[in-house]
Structure 1
Amino acid sequence: MKLTPLACALVAGVMFVGVAVGYPFDIKRDLVTEVVWTTVTLGNVIVYVDEQGVPYATTTTTEATGLATTVAETSSAILPSSTPAVPSSMLASQSNPATSALPSFMLVSEKDVVTSVVLEHKVPTPVESGAPAQPPAQSPAQPPAQPPAPSPTPETKEAGPLNFRVPLGVTYDPFMEGGCKPATQLSNEFDAMYRDYGIVRIYGNDCGLIPLAVQKAAGQGKKLMAGVWLPNQRIEDVVNALREAVVKYAGGRWDVISLVSVENERVLEKTMAVSQAIDAVREARRQLRDAGYGGPVGAVEIPSVVVDNPALCEPEVVMVNVHPFFNRDQTAQNAGRTVREQVNTVVKACPNKPIVVTESGWPHEGQTNGAAVPSVENQKAAMASIGREFDGNLFFHNAFDSGWKKDWEGSFGAERYWGVIS
């Protein structure tokens, strides 16, 4: 049977016992320790011996490589007749309590022991009777074995915080017919939004909105969902604006920003491919991490697009817009259940990922879409129904009416009338 390095290590600890048995006790002989520089791989058992070479304890360690050698010497010695032979059962009884049994071993010649491995003799530290012996401190040349570093999480499997939650929020855009709203109006509208909601979603840095948005959120102890309006805006420009605003108005604390989107329904519109959306998420995440932001970064699509394109489940938090008004079979009073059912389809498509509804609501004016009727009363009923299903992780769309918008085929003449704050 081939001798393993572990067996050699154990035999080295009981070397003198083997010699005592094989030779008369009263005959002098030369004991030679050769200088051998050997690099071996040890198993998980270390045997500690005293100055007479008698094993006194064992312990279990993690794997280590490389053993220090002893200084070569030639001496004349008599193995004392009082040196007892130590059976392997005794060694096992003195081992670390975590070690249930020592591996079996066999005695070999003195030459085999010396040329295979050299163990340093250490003077044992006295311990109380019955207390387990402590291993000697490891030398600087042999640092403690470290657990392997965890493998980096692949981009496609980045786990999201399952307990991620933001309060009920509202979406906001800074436009009016003909251009940007005046600074005073922007400031007043942020005050109105933060009176009613804990978080506001902005879509980018149009009208230079980011500094004001961060200032208002930080000043009122509220949160902000930031965004990059791709492809119209550049990721680096938005990240730089966020960095400067966070430093100036939030004391450098990025936790004022809860999440960041990079696009809004561009895959649905077929102006971006799924791969482009994911690449944008990764690039924005990289730049935001470098800037100091550690929260979720994602793309925003509707549930059916996410279900049909599982790659959109990659971000830490999956973001979807859900508008029950566009389901002609649903009433305002049933809006909350409709949103919940749509979210459940995304939960199944993206298991173990939190879902945030980044737009949902009901228009207060426009044309009827089957059972979905726009009116002030139905808007209130829809919001109440949605509120019964969601107490967070949802943004009502939109904070104020958007008179600058134009209707499109399928908007039922309601595009300008989604404002929920009067």
Structure 2
Amino acid sequence: MKYLLSVAALASLAIAQPMHHVHKREPDVVVVTEHYTKMVTVVAGQQQQQQQQQQTSVAPSPEPQPTTMKVVAAAKQDDSGSSAAASSASSQAPASSQAASSAPAASSSSSGSSGSSGSTGGTGISYTPYSDNGGCKSADEVKSDLSSLQDYSIIRLYGVDCSQVENVANAIGDNQKLFLGLFDMGSIENDIDSMYKQLGNSWDKVDTVSVGNELVNGGQASVEQVGQYVQTAKSKLSSLGYNGPVVAVDTFIAVINNPGLCDHSDYMAVNAHAFFDTNTEASQAGSWAQQQVDRVSDACGGSKKVVITESGWPSQGDSNGKAVPSKENQKSAISSLRDHVGDKVFLFTAFNDMWKSPGYLNCEQYWGFLSN
């Protein structure tokens, strides 16, 4: 009987634990070994060559994966990650493959006008600035994309590469704000500098700055480390005049299992995808999401506002129990999310991400509910 109860408890814990989404593309790395070992790096269309005396060498790239093969094209990591906060599976966050372009020359005073609590209300949407082949979209392409997102109060970004902060800031309407992201914990201060420059030295368009994405859920950081990252970010942001909210985004189950995370965010920002609950149908996505909001609120003692920073449904892929991917089910899920948590959710995501690998359940490319 004890064994059966233990199995039941484990099964209960495993239900509705969202998978990690990759939000940055990885560079293709090519290593060519000749008599003098010539190294060729292909990163976002740029090529660099070096001659070294060692037998093999690997192109420098974020989070490099060395190889001894003579000719190797490094494949992208699987887009799925750990579905549980305590999972032993590692879900590394791919780093940026291209530095942000130069920031606009025009500069306004730093007002930090986003305030201390942020306006995070209404329906937001997540956006990534990558083309199908993994390259950076141009400013005009971003502007075209954003023209379809005018009904969303806040646009969520995940990094600073591809000049995405500048391009999106220039494309949003007067009634829209930005939820900006720091993705690489190894370059927090440099990325904040880039963020600030891309904004024209003004925080007027910023609602919130997030630090990391699912770091505890993915096994990339402890709760204490997340706290250190947030403090580093807050200190740097404050020095540049930003006084708005700073949050550490993680999954709802990571927060429930690690309530210490409640201490490191000005409000709770959690990713929660009903699709990864085998017992939830698309039409129930919104009510399911509200349940997770309530659970996170309880885990934090009812002291923090809770915002869902990702929730959506794929249009293609493999079924996950009662969770079946299809365009109709995607529409049903998005409608349900609007009805139940529309004032506190970022819908995931605007457009399909064909630059990703298929990932878990072969669905990672197909969460874009505005794509055909």
TM > 0.5: yes
Answering whether residue 140 of structure 2 is matched by residue 184 of structure 1, we say yes
Query: Is it true that 1:303 corresponds to 2:252 in the alignment?
Result: yes
The answer to whether the aligner puts 1:201 opposite 2:156 as a matched pair is: yes
Contact 1:167 1:198 in 2 (8 A): yes
- AA partner of residue 209 (structure 2): V
Whole-Å separation in 2 of the counterparts to 1:416 and 1:225: 22
Alignment partner, residue 212 of structure 1: 167
Distance, in Å, in 2 between the alignment partners of 1:364 and 1:234 is 35
1:309-348 → structure 2 map (5 Å cutoff): 309-314=258-263, 315-348=265-298
> CA deviation digits over 1:105-130, x for unaligned, max 9?
xxxxxxxxxxxxxxxxxxxxxxxxxx
- Quote the Cα distance in structure 2 between the aligned partners of 1:206 and 1:398: 19
Q: Could you list the runs of 4 or more consecutive aligned residues of structure 1 that deviate by over 6 angstroms after TM superposition?
A: none
How far does residue 286 in structure 1 lie from its aligned partner after superposition?
Answer: 1.3
- Say whether residues 1:171 and 2:126 are aligned partners: yes
- What is the DSSP-based 3-state SS (H/G/I as helix, E as strand, rest coil) of the residue aligned with 2:362? coil
| Residue pair 2:165, 2:199 contacting (<8 A) in 1 also | no
Q: Measure, in 2, the Cα distance between the counterparts of 1:310 and 1:282.
A: 18
What RMSD in Å do the two structures reach over aligned CA positions?
1.7
The answer as to whether partners of 2:119 and 2:207 remain within 8 angstroms in 1 is no
The correspondence of residues 280-291 of structure 1 with structure 2, limited to 5 A, is 280-291=229-240
Deviations 1:169-219 (A, max 9, x none): 1101111224222332122112222x23111000011212111122223x5
Which amino acid in the other structure matches residue 278 of structure 1? G
Partner of 2:113: none
Q: 2:181 aligns with which of 222, 227, 236?
A: 227
For residues 121 and 170 of structure 2, what CA distance do their matches in structure 1 show?
A: 19
3-state SS of 2:323 partner = coil
Deviation at 1:274, TM superposition (A): 1.6
2:68 matched residue in structure 1: none
Matched ranges for 1:13-52 at <5 A: none
Indicate if the aligned counterparts of 2:211 and 2:248 stay in contact, CA closer than 8 A: yes
Alpha-carbon distance in 2 for matches of 1:305, 1:358: 14
Structure 1: 5+ residue stretches without partners: 1-159
Tell me the distance in 1 between the aligned counterparts of 2:275 and 2:148: 25
The answer on whether the counterparts of 1:225 and 1:258 sit within 8 Å (CA) in structure 2 is yes
Q: Distance in 1 between matches of 2:121 and 2:241?
A: 20
What is the distance in 1 between the residues matched to 2:152 and 2:330? 17
How many angstroms does 1:267 deviate by?
A: 1.3
Shift of 1:164: 5.3
Higher RCO, 1 or 2 (CA under 8 Å, sep at least 6)? 2
- Once the two structures are superposed, the pairs formed by residues 2-401 of structure 1 within 5 Å of their partners are 161=117, 165-176=120-131, 177-193=133-149, 195-217=150-172, 219-231=173-185, 234-247=187-200, 252=202, 254-314=203-263, 315-350=265-300, 351-401=302-352
Whether contact under 8 Å (1:215, 1:245) holds in the other structure is no
Provide the rounded CA distance (Å) in 1 between the counterparts of 2:139 and 2:170: 13
Paired AA for residue 415 in structure 1: E
1:237-272 CA-to-partner distances (Å, cap 9, x unmatched) read 222123223336xxx3x2411111110112111122
- CA-CA distance at 1:165 after TM superposition: 3.3
One-letter amino acid of the counterpart of residue 275, structure 1: E
Distance of aligned partners of 1:226 and 1:178 in 2 relative to their CA distance in 1, 3 Å threshold: closer
Aligned-partner Cα distance in 1 for 2:332–2:311: 13
Counterpart residue type for residue 273 of structure 2: H
After superposition, the C-alpha distances for 1:64-98 in whole angstroms (9 at most, x for unaligned) are: xxxxxxxxxxxxxxxxxxxxxxxxxxxxxxxxxxx
Write out per-residue CA displacement over residues 149-175 of structure 1, whole angstroms, 9 at most, x where no aligned residue.
xxxxxxxxxxx85x9532201101111
C-alpha distance in 2 between matches for 1:405 and 1:179: 12
1:414 aligns with: 363
* d(CA) in 2 for partners of 1:246, 1:181: 18
How far apart in 2 are the matches of 1:398 and 1:164?
21
Quote the Cα distance in structure 1 between the aligned partners of 2:153 and 2:145.
Answer: 14
Q: Distance in 2 between matches of 1:342 and 1:366?
A: 24
Q: Which residue of 1 aligns with 2:61?
A: none
SS in 1 for 2:332: helix
Partner residue of 1:98? Answer: none
Counting aligned pairs with the same residue, the percent is 36
1:403 aligned to 2:354? yes
Amino acid in the other structure paired with 2:283: Q
Between the aligned partners of 2:198 and 2:345, the Cα distance in structure 1 is 25
- Hey, what's the Cα distance between the residues in 2 that align with 1:190 and 1:387? 20
Contact 1:230 1:263 in 2 (8 A): yes
Corresponding residue of 1:90: none
Aligned partner of residue 372 in structure 1, secondary structure = coil
Secondary structure of 1:196's counterpart equals coil
Distance 2:213 2:189 in 1: 18
Aligned to 1:54: none
Instruction: Give yes or no for contact 2:142–2:168 (8 Å, CA) kept in 1.
Output: no
Deviation at 1:324? Answer: 0.1
For residues 283 and 169 of structure 1, the distance between their equivalents in structure 2, rounded to whole angstroms, comes to 26
Contact 1:278/1:311, CA 8 A, preserved across alignment: no
Q: Which moved more, 1:328-337 or 1:170-179?
A: 170-179
Letter in 2 for 1:213: V
- Of the two, which has the highest radius of gyration? 1
